[in-house]
Chains A and B, each alone.
Chain A
Amino acid sequence: MINDKEYCAMEGRSVKLKVYGWMIRLSFIIYYLSFSTACSRAPEKVQKIDVLPPVYPDYCDITIPENIAPLNFLLRNDQCEALEVRAGDLTLNARGNEVVFDIDDWKALLSQHAGKEIEVTVTALINGQWIEFKSFGWQIVKDRIDPYLTYRLIEPDYEIWNQIQIQQRCIENFDVNALGHYEQLENRCMNCHTYGSQSPDLSMMYVRGPGGGAILNQNGQLSKLNLKTDDMISGSVYFGFSPSGRYIVFSTNLIIPGFHSLASKRLEVFDSKSDVYVADLKTHTMLRSHLLSDSTKFETFPTFSPDGKYIYYCVADSVALPSDIKNLQYRLARIPFDEATSTIGTQVELWNVGSSVCHPRISPDGRYLLYTVADYGTFPIWHPEADLQLMDLQTGDIDTLAVVNSEKSDTYHSWSSNSRWFVFASKRDDGLYGKPYFCYIDKDGKAHKPFCLPQAHPTFYDNNLKSFNAPELGKGKVPFDVEDVAKAMKQEAIPFK
């Protein structure tokens, strides 16, 4: 039942959103018209060159799902006066160096060519000469990607924050809405939003500071949890839901920022302590195991296996920090878990993959384990060598994902519900600002070249000064917004024993 007051508030919000919505639409329409109709100059006396066009973001020879938003891009050439882009049957002429597709034309293009590869040819008018670049391909696959992406927007230097936002983006178009916004949440620090089994009906985010807590979404009902008990070193930091949604496995971490004297290495973040616990959302109790809170070890990055029978996590022997940071090597581990009896097993299995492991995430079909490796430590965001690896849990084979990784940090990944796509944050462009990239894994387990989250404006990433942090894919739009989170923050936190 909605009372009058709530109804009025909803109405007011609805009117406000409509006004904003129309303003946003108007700006997009003006923007689109300015680029798509201002110039439709057709190429003439074209010179062909055997070089791929310098398109940004790099959308050359990529695999995309049939439900992705238009891949708007720009040609990285300041002298470019006009462009013609031929993609399949679609031809687009634009003034300047930016390509902005009409969303209806784009949707038609993808639906017509789903399951096929289309050839894309870019012809540019540069210094008065039309130049046709080497064509590239877009492989359009019928395997759809989960349509919603949540992420945190934050300045890249994470140790001190101000004005953080958690946003949800529909990746089938360009709609964005806020789940957490500093204006409504007293400029608090917010941790990432994580789904349970990619479902919008089960998710959690953590709002820090006095009166903060874990905001749990169960079918749109928000509640505030106090997941910190007296014996814990902190509240939850990294967490994941069990497949049934009854349990949350999470780590508590005492996080210390350190600074490299070498400017190119910048920040090093490590845990001086970390443990793993399981919270039972039904009984509001904590499940503990001495194997997951060993004082001589650091346990972190826990996640349930899709069948709920194991907790995967990372573990390292404690070393003197920060002096011995390069000896801080995390290994992959798993421990059995029984959902029926709420018991954590007693046998830990360990894998050594040769580098320090972070963020293990298992594909929803249980076939693959995706994780990050770095030379050392537990915070791969500032490690340029941090790369993703894919372990086939049936064969134990490890794919180093050469086609996916870059010279800069590639990490913080999350699977799509069909196990065919994953998203990860990569700093491949400038080494500073993370952006979401999507990668396709075909039925043979082969990874395809990833592509960057498309934006309405091709220059968005050039102008953007925030990192996309911890991107997570979801099957649908979460049934709450920032106003609901602000209300939930005023609730009394549910304690755990």
Chain B
Amino acid sequence: MRVRIAIFVVVTIAVFCFFQFWYSYHFFYYEQNQIFLWEWEYVSGYFQRVGGFASLMGDFLTQFYYYLYAGSVILTLCIAMVGVLLYKLLTNLKVSSWVAIALGLSLMVFLTVCHFSKSYKLSSTICILGWLLTFWLVSRIFGVRGCRGTGIVFMLVLLPAYLLFGMPKAVRLQAPDLVLEKDFAVSNEYHFGNYDKVLDIVGSSDGWTRQMMFFYNLVYAHRGELPDHLLDFIPNNLGTFEKIGPETPRLTIINMNELYWALGDMTFTERAAMMTNVFAPENRNVRMIKRLAECNIVSGDSAAAQKYLRILSKTFAYKHWADETQMHLSKGQLPPYLAQKKPFVNHHDTITISDNAHFLMMQLLDANPGNTIALDYILCSTLLLKDIQNFKRDYDRYCMETAKPRLKKLYQEALCIWLAGTNAPQEEWQRYVQRQDVLRRFIEYNNQRGNPRFKDTYWYYYDKAGFALNDK
């Protein structure tokens, strides 16, 4: 018996360790893409569909994935309970204990593999758990043993168990997606404001996805250092060339939401949040509901913000935030981090039929030239495209005409290209290129064009890098 328990414990610990130490960011994905309201009106809705109890329990438990370690603990316990229950049921049916343990462990491993997929919900495991629990309980209560009793038990529990637990969802089995795990990691650490951790994750990776580059850039943009790191990855992904449409992946839409939020465009922040909800399962994404509250608070639409705050106040994980925000609002104040966003809000009304990020950023900069994040994104976007003409136009408009030249090395290097290409007079060079170190290196580079020694310069990128097709 001890050996059997030990085997179960070892497998359970292994499952826990895997999910906690190699797959924990997936839990945020599950947690985000639903909302669970602790209210009878909401809870009763689950009982209007087959399998409602399993869905209810699954969604109820999934909301706690928001907390560190909770996801691994909950999922491991559910998987372990499935294994133990199958073992108990089989031994109750006089199946050899070693066969029972083998089948129990197999089911645990199978469910673990199922949970590698981001589309496999906890409710499916709860569904299996529910069926096993029902069979086991009924067989215990009725004292049915052996194969002859199986049929009777089966008939007795079939309908109620089906109504309560439904059927588990089928999922295509896959290997753990550790690349996606890293994508989730950067996205979530960024969302929680752990910018150093984002940089650590990206820095310690052997390969980089577009998602990782996107958040790497966003972190540096917050720090005013985007132009210093734009050439760290070639090709790079700023996210400014993405558009939201029916075919846009949900992760991209969520990224767009983070980008618009960072830029300060509340119209498009709201749109991306709504679109995330539109394409989320059941049209619910709790993180985006929080974002909808935030962007409406910033844009001053208190009635809309109240709608979302009320919803969030009925959740476990977001209630504290909703109540605190409500307290600030009742005093006529904004939470400090939202107050910081207020100056970036566009107060001019224009209509565009495109979600072209360049146009949006121009609008934001026209409204507020001090929006450094928008400034760096607009300048870096044109530089990635090697569009020196438009870079120069934007630089003039938002740096020279506002008498706030942004003397970043990258921009100075790009200006050298424009000045050289237009045979600009000396006074123009003096006006634009104020960093002598850049000028000296430009002269050196012109004598050794394409030399990898200049890999860190925009000139090398301009001459040598393949066009950033992926970003177009």
Contact = CB atoms under 8 A, between A and B. Distances in A.
Do these two chains really belong together in a complex? yes
A260 B271 contact: no
A261 B346 contact: yes
Contacts of A264: 299-301
B40 interface: yes
A34 interface: yes
B352 interface: yes
Contacts of A155: 274, 277-278, 283
Interface stretch (B110-118, B143-151, B170-178, B302-310): B302-310
B268 A265 contact: no
Contacts of A19: 50, 163
B336 interface: no
Interface in A243-279: 256-266, 268
Contacts of A323: 351
Given A23-B163, A263-B295, A161 B353 contact: no
A258 B352 contact: yes
Interface stretch (A220-228, A281-289, A415-423, A455-463): A455-463
Q: Select the residue from B48, B279, B307 with max chain A CB neighbours within 10 A.
A: B307
Of the listed residues A24, A161, A265, A465, the one surrounded by the most CB atoms of chain B closer than 10 A to its CB is: A465
B425 interface: no
B347 interface: yes
Interface stretch (A134-142, A429-437, A469-477): A429-437
Nearest to B353: A258
Contact of A27 (B48, B271, B314): B48
B278 to A, nearest CB: 5
B267 A261 contact: yes
Interface in A6-54: 19-20, 23-24, 26-28, 30-31, 34
Contacts of B300: 264
Interface string B254-295: 000000000001111011001101110001100001000001
B363 A157 contact: no
B44 A27 contact: yes
B348 A261 contact: yes
B322 to A, nearest CB: 12
Given A27-B47, A262-B267, A268-B351, A162 B301 contact: no
A429 B345 CA distance: 24
A83 to B, nearest CB: 16
A460 B303 contact: no
A157 B257 CA distance: 15
A30 B353 CA distance: 50
A27 B46 CA distance: 9
Contacts of B39: 459, 463
B270 A160 contact: no
A460 B283 CA distance: 16
Contacts of A465: 277, 283-284, 289, 311
Contact of A31 (B44, B244, B270, B284): B44
A263 B311 contact: no
A429 B307 CA distance: 9
B356 to A, nearest CB: 10
A340 B209 CA distance: 68
Contacts of B40: 31, 34, 457
A263 B270 contact: yes
Given A261-B349, A261-B350, A430-B303, A23 B275 contact: no
Majority DSSP secondary structure for residues of B touching A = helix
B42 interface: yes
B245 interface: yes
Q: How large is the interface on A (under 10, 10 to 19, 20 to 34, 35 or more residues)?
A: 35 or more
A162 B278 contact: yes
A325 interface: yes
Nearest to A257: B353
A156 interface: yes
Interface in B34-55: 37, 39-42, 44-45, 47-50, 52
A163 interface: yes
Contacts of B304: 430-432
B421 interface: no
B48 A24 contact: yes
Nearest to A462: B310
A161 B278 CA distance: 7
A19 B363 CA distance: 56
B452 interface: no
Contact of B307 (A31, A322, A430): A430
Interface in A127-179: 155-157, 160-163
Nearest to B272: A157
A46 B355 CA distance: 58
B318 to A, nearest CB: 14
B332 interface: no
Q: What DSSP secondary structure best describes chain A's contact surface?
A: loop
B265 to A, nearest CB: 8
A155 B271 CA distance: 11
Contacts of A34: 40
B307 A157 contact: no
Contacts of A459: 39, 41-42
A157 B274 contact: yes
Nearest to B347: A262
Contacts of B207: none
A325 B352 CA distance: 11
B362 to A, nearest CB: 10
Contacts of B44: 27-28, 30-31, 457
Nearest to A34: B40
A261 B39 CA distance: 37
A183 to B, nearest CB: 11
Contacts of A460: 41
B246 interface: yes
Contacts of A20: 48-49
A260 to B, nearest CB: 6
Contacts of A261: 265, 267, 346, 348-352, 360, 363, 367
B254 to A, nearest CB: 15
B349 A260 contact: yes
A378 to B, nearest CB: 13
Given A20-B48, A463-B37, A260 B299 contact: no
Q: Quick one: which of A27, A155, A263 has the most chain B CB within 10 A?
A: A263
Interface in B112-168: 163
A431 B301 contact: yes
Contacts of A259: 267-268, 271, 351-353, 355
A256 B348 contact: no
A415 B355 CA distance: 38
Contacts of B301: 263-264, 431
Contacts of B284: 465
Interface core residue of A20, A261, A268 (most chain B CB under 10 Å)? A261
A266 B279 CA distance: 20
A315 B100 CA distance: 76
B299 to A, nearest CB: 4
B96 to A, nearest CB: 39
A465 B314 CA distance: 14
B365 to A, nearest CB: 12
B166 to A, nearest CB: 12
A100 to B, nearest CB: 10
A157 B275 contact: yes
Contacts of A431: 301, 303-304
B349 A265 contact: yes
7 contacts: A19-B163, A23-B48, A31-B41, A160-B244, A258-B351, A261-B360, A463-B41
The 5 A-B residue pairs whose C-beta atoms are closest, nearest first, are A263-B299, A263-B266, A457-B41, A262-B349, A430-B307
Given A20-B48, A463-B311, 17 more contacts: A31-B44, A155-B283, A162-B246, A259-B355, A260-B267, A260-B351, A261-B346, A261-B348, A262-B267, A266-B267, A429-B307, A430-B304, A432-B307, A457-B41, A459-B39, A462-B310, A462-B311
